[in-house]
Amino acid sequence: MSALGRVRQWNAFSQVWHLFDAKWQNPFQSAAVITKYLMGKHKPFYHPFANCGDVVVVINSRHIALLGDEWKKRVYFHHTGYPGGASWTLAWELHEKSPTMILEKAVYSSMKGNLQRRHTMKRLIIYPDDIIPEDIHTNISSQIKQLRKVPKVLESDEVNNFPRIFKLPVDYVPS
Amino acid sequence: MSFSMKFLVKPLVISYGNSITVHRQIHRWVAPTLKALNNRKREMGPQPINRRSDYLEWNYKAEIYSFGKRLGEDFKEDLLREAFTEKSFINLEAEKLMKVGVDPQLDMKDNANFSVEGEKFISQCVLKYLVSVLPSLPSEHIESIHNFLLSDEKLSTVSKNIGIDDLVLTAEYPLEQSTLSRSLKSVIHALVLSSGEERASKFVTDFIITQLCGEDITPLCTPENPIEKLKSTVGANIESRIIVESAKNTLLANYQVGIYQEKNLLGRGCGESPWIAEEMAALDALWRLWGITSNKKPFPIKSQKIVNSVNM
Amino acid sequence: MSNSHLFMTSGFPRAPLKNGIGRYICQLKRVTIKFCKNHGDSRGIREFIETELVDFSRKNPGVVVYVKTRRHRAPCLNAEYLNGQKEYINCHNFSKDEVNKWLHLLLSRSGKEVMRYRKMWHTDNPSIQGIWTPFTFKDPKLNVASFPLNVYWGPPNPKPTATEIVMEMFRKQKLEDNQTDDITINEKDNVKSSQGQ
């Protein structure tokens, strides 16, 4: 292969590091998009044998948002293999113990259960907050769009200046 | 294998009254026979390969006539015979005659002279064509493309696919690349003498210059220090900027570099490191100037303009 | 369902030696017609040789035709091509026309091995605009951006939130108020101005 052909190939199949901000996002909805980038399905020359997947760095996994009462009701099952080793962990309990695990499990289960899954999962890096190590941060060159719009949190002066129709007295009690 | 498998792969049908039983499809004696034959072949060792002319169905005069007609050319027979005769063949014939005791006074001429003349002619045609088709390419790269087209490898593939390899008279077989390319050059000189330079230049265009079509010639036009070369071509006020940086800390790092002159992009290259990308960008800029990028128009072969320029 | 394609060689159609770009040359070098002078299966080929072979030869001077008699053997056509490949056709009980047709088929072949074609085309330059890379449609702003981006990077055209709707209503109202430059003061305006601010 000529030098030009070689660098062109390298360029076309280069692995891109994407950032995804999981703040206030639904992890199961986000997992679908993250999986797409991890597998390389966003590339026109995707092939399962081609190892063309990109790396996705997820931040703020501590601040994900589950639907409705899922925090209280979603259960994660684990069995140690030994008798009496079954355990059912609620989502909020799991999240307290490990702030990245819910998102990790969501991505894992959104993939097909084939031999490629473990290799594809290795391309996923999750951080609970928005602190990323420097050497990983330098690799990132793209960002995946969030799926749910994050509403703006108003500052204190914005709260005070928010348009009011009427101002109730402090000790008002409705009859 | 001299057996035809068709006669061996037959169902052996044995019928007893109303019932028909079908037995094994390959006869019992086939495998042992083939094994015995293979063993004998292995014991004999490597055998000399026969030329086509060693077989019974061979008429050299008819072959030579057809050779010319197939290519759409009119050759003079004696010139073509001279073009196909190698010195080794003449020496071999002389030796044979001497062994018998006859004084060797062979009328045959070898093709050394023809091949030298032919090479000069092809060289001129090719250079003229390249200069007209790639006017901005520097002469050292035109020379490298010329050498590529006139290499023994290229000319031998052309002569093999034209049908020269059956017709050449040599001592050794199978033919070497140098023999084949020599005979092609001699044939072209024979054509020059038979039909004139115009027809011969068309022949060179159709068979030798077409080998350039579809080929990527950038590997032939790669200067040693592309950045220095670019500076000397367009001026020293060029600057390179990184356009894209991807996965910097990993083994799969990818950079794209652009070379700019007064905010105009001259060339863009990619590579594993910024230095490689810069070099490729300089090369890309040079190739764009010389008009040999991969999206250039295809080389014209049948255009009248080219025919006129190649004509002597 | 046939399986002959499974162990048949596969490839792509290619022209030998860029045939056709310059001039077209017939790829058939020589044809050897072998037949028996007596046997019935060679009748058709004998008729062909007597009537149509010379015309064929005259029309295709680039093909060398050898005619060989072989007793007690089936008739056949052996073709040799410029790329060195050989083709064999057994002409047992062929009619004159069949021999003619098969001979013209051999004439039109390129000598390339009979294979399964993966695609019925081939090109050296499959892409004019260049093959897609992850950077082809990348917004150039991302090349100099710092991640995470501080601009809006969410779903396009999202539904406005309640907060945004209220702010929008308030802004519109303010504009209307500013537009009415009339000095008519009424109770409503007084109330608004004291509370709105």
CB contact under 8 A, A7 and B256: no
Mean pLDDT of chain C: 89
Residue with tokens 């050759």: B75
Evaluate if residue C81 carries a pLDDT over 60: yes
Distance between CA atoms of B118 and B121, rounded to whole angstroms? 5
pLDDT the model gives residue C181: 55
Which stretches within B134-263 are classed as H helix? 139-149, 152-162, 177-195, 197-207, 226-234
**Which of A 114-133 lie inside 8 A of C, CB atoms?**
130
Query: In angstroms, rounded to a whole number, what is the distance separating the alpha carbons of residues A116 and A95?
Result: 27
Q: Does B211 sit within 8 Å of C18, measured CB to CB?
A: yes
How close C81 comes to chain A (CA, Å)? 31
CB contact under 8 A, A4 and B270: no
- Checking if the pLDDT of B3 tops 50, the result is no
- Residues B115, B120, B121, B127, CA torsion sign: positive
Per-residue pLDDT at B259 exceeds 70: yes
For residue C23, give the nearest of B63, B72, B294 by CB distance: B72
Q: Is A74 helix (H, G, I), strand (E, B) or coil?
A: coil
CB B129 within 8 A of CB B211: no
Q: Do C148 and A130 touch (CB under 8 A)?
A: yes
Q: Comparing B22 with A79, which gets the higher pLDDT? A: A79
- Residue B51 confidence (pLDDT): 94
Q: Does A169 touch chain C (CB under 8 A)?
A: no
Q: What is the 3-state secondary structure (H, E, C) of C124-152?
A: CCCCCCCCCCCCCCCCCHHHHCCCCCCCC
Q: Express as a percent the part of chain C with pLDDT over 90.
A: 73
Better-scored residue on pLDDT, C189 or A100: A100
pLDDT of the residue at C187 = 47
Segment holding C196, helix H or strand E: helix C187-196
- Among candidates B219, B252, B276 on the partner chain, residue whose Cβ is nearest the Cβ of A14: B252
Q: Does B288 touch chain C (CB under 8 A)?
A: no
Check if the beta carbon of residue A16 is closer than 8 Å to that of residue B260: no
Give start and end residues of each alpha helix (H) in A74-137.
Answer: 91-97, 101-110, 117-121, 134-137
> Hey, how many other C-beta atoms are within 10 angstroms of the C-beta on B212?
22
Distance CA(B228)–CA(B236), nearest Å, equals 9
> Using the 8-state DSSP alphabet, how is residue A171 labeled?
T
Omega cis (within 30) before C155? no
Nearest by CB to residue A146, choosing from C133, C154, C161, is C154
| Residues of A in Cβ contact (< 8 Å) with B283 | 3-4
- Residue A2 has its nearest CB partner, among B216, B269, B276, at B216
pLDDT tens digits for A138-149?
999 999 999 999
B247 interfaces chain C, CB cutoff of 8 Å: no
Q: Given this model, what pLDDT does residue C2 score? A: 75
In the block, tokens 């030329």 appear at B51
d(CA B192, CA B199): 7
Mean pLDDT of chain A: 95
Contacts A–C by Cβ distance under 8 A: 64
Asked if C89 and C77 touch (Cβ cutoff 8 Å), the reply is: yes
Judging contacts by C-beta atoms under 8 Å, the chain C residues touching residue A150 are 154
B187-218: per-residue pLDDT in tens? 999 999 999 999 999 999 999 999 999 889 99
Read off the pLDDT band of C193 (50, 70, 90).
Answer: very low
- The CA–CA distances, whole Å, from B193 to A154, B54, B67, B105, C62 equal 94, 30, 17, 26, 21
Q: Which tens digits make up the pLDDT trace of A127-141?
A: 999 999 999 999 999
Cβ neighbourhood burial of C172 (10 Å; 0-12, 13-18, 19+)? exposed
User: Are C103 and C90 contacting, i.e. CB atoms less than 8 angstroms apart?
Assistant: no
On the question of pLDDT at A120 being above 50, the answer is yes
Taking phi over 0 as left and psi of -120 to 50 as alpha, with beta for the rest, A24 belongs to left
Of chain A, the percentage scoring pLDDT greater than 90 comes to 89
d(C-alpha B183, C-alpha B6), whole Å: 42
pLDDT at B312 over 60: no
Euclidean distance between CA atoms B40 and B204, whole angstroms:
48
- The pLDDT of residue B25: 81
Over chain B, what is the mean pLDDT?
91
DSSP 8-state symbol, A153: P
Q: 3-class DSSP state for residue B14?
A: strand
| Total beta-carbon pairs less than 8 A apart between chain B and chain C | 79
Which pLDDT band, with edges at 50, 70 and 90, does B8 fall under? Answer: low
Task: Residue window 51-80, chain A: list those with CB within 8 Å of chain C.
Answer: 54, 59
CB A21 to CB C195 under 8 A?
no
Do C30 and B158 lie within an 8 Å CB cutoff?
no
**What are residue A126's DSSP bridge partners?**
A58
Mean pLDDT value of segment B97-116 = 88
B273 touches chain C (CB under 8 A): no
Mean pLDDT on B110-125: 96
- Which residues in chain C touch residue B301, judged by CB atoms under 8 angstroms apart? 21-22
> Nearest CA to B117 among B83, B152, B166?
B83
What is chain A's alpha carbon radius of gyration, rounded to the nearest angstrom? Answer: 22
- Whether C167 and chain A come into contact, CB under 8 Å, resolves to yes
Q: How far apart are CA B186 and CA A95, in angstroms?
A: 84
Q: Give the C-alpha separation, B126 to B121, whole Å.
A: 9
pLDDT over 90 at A102, yes or no? yes
- Give the per-residue pLDDT at B2: 44
Given this model, what pLDDT does residue B19 score?
Answer: 73
Q: Distance from CA of residue C73 to its chain's centroid?
A: 45
Q: How far apart are CA B208 and CA C17, in angstroms?
A: 10
Q: How long is chain A?
A: 175
Q: In the 8-state DSSP scheme, what is residue B299?
A: P
Is A142 part of the contact surface with chain C (CB cutoff 8 Å)? yes
Q: B-chain residues within 8 Å CB-CB of A135?
A: 249
Question: Which pLDDT score, from 0 to 100, does residue B40 have?
Answer: 97
The answer to whether A165 touches A40, Cβ cutoff 8 Å, is: no
Query: For the residues A47-56, what does the mean pLDDT come to?
Result: 95
Is residue B184 exposed (0-12), middle (13-18) or buried (19+ Cβ within 10 Å)?
A: buried
Spatial separation of the C-alpha atoms in residues A102 and A124, rounded to whole Å: 13
- pLDDT bin (cut points 50, 70, 90) of residue B6 is low
pLDDT at B219 over 50: yes
Please tell me the predicted confidence (pLDDT) of residue B294.
87
Residue C57: both structure tokens together: 């030869």
- Residues of C in Cβ contact (< 8 Å) with B187: none
Task: Place B295 in a pLDDT band, splitting at 50, 70 and 90.
Answer: confident
Give the pair of three-digit tokens for residue B238: 């060029």
C153 interaction partners in chain A (CB closer than 8 Å): 21, 143, 145-146
List, in sequence order, every residue forming a beta bridge with B269; answer none if it has no partner: B257
- Using the Cβ of B57 and the Cβ atoms of chain C, whether some distance falls under 8 Å is answered with yes
B268 vs B284: CA distance, rounded Å: 6
Position B297 pLDDT exceeds 60: yes
Question: What pLDDT, on a 0 to 100 scale, did the predictor assign at position A165?
Answer: 80
Model confidence pLDDT, tens digit, residues B37-56? 999 999 999 999 999 999 99
Question: In C, what residues contact B, Cβ < 8 A?
Answer: 16-18, 21-23, 25-26, 29-30, 32, 61-64, 66, 68, 80, 82-84, 124-125, 128, 130, 134-135, 138, 140, 143
Mean pLDDT of A47-62: 96
Q: Is the pLDDT of residue C197 over 50?
A: no
Note the pLDDT tens digit of each residue in B173-182.
Answer: 999 999 999 9
Hey, which residues does B16 pair with through a beta bridge? B19
The Cα A71–Cα B127 span in angstroms is 78
Single out the residue of B85, B93, B90 nearest to residue B111, CA to CA: B85
Q: What is the pLDDT of residue B271?
A: 96
From the CA atom positions of chain C, what is the Rg in Å?
Answer: 41
With a cut of 90, say whether residue C126 has pLDDT above it. no
Q: Is the pLDDT of residue C157 over 70?
A: yes
In angstroms, rounded to a whole number, what is the distance separating the alpha carbons of residues A105 and A75? 12
pLDDT band at C194 (very low <50, low <70, confident <90, very high): very low
Torsion of CA A19, A23, A26, A31, to 10 degrees: 20
Burial of A150 per CB tally in 10 Å (0-12, 13-18, 19+): middle
Say which residue the tokens 């073009």 belong to.
B83
In this structure, are residues A97 and A78 in contact, taking their beta carbons and an 8 Å threshold? Answer: no
Q: Residue C44's pLDDT band (boundaries 50, 70, 90)?
A: very high
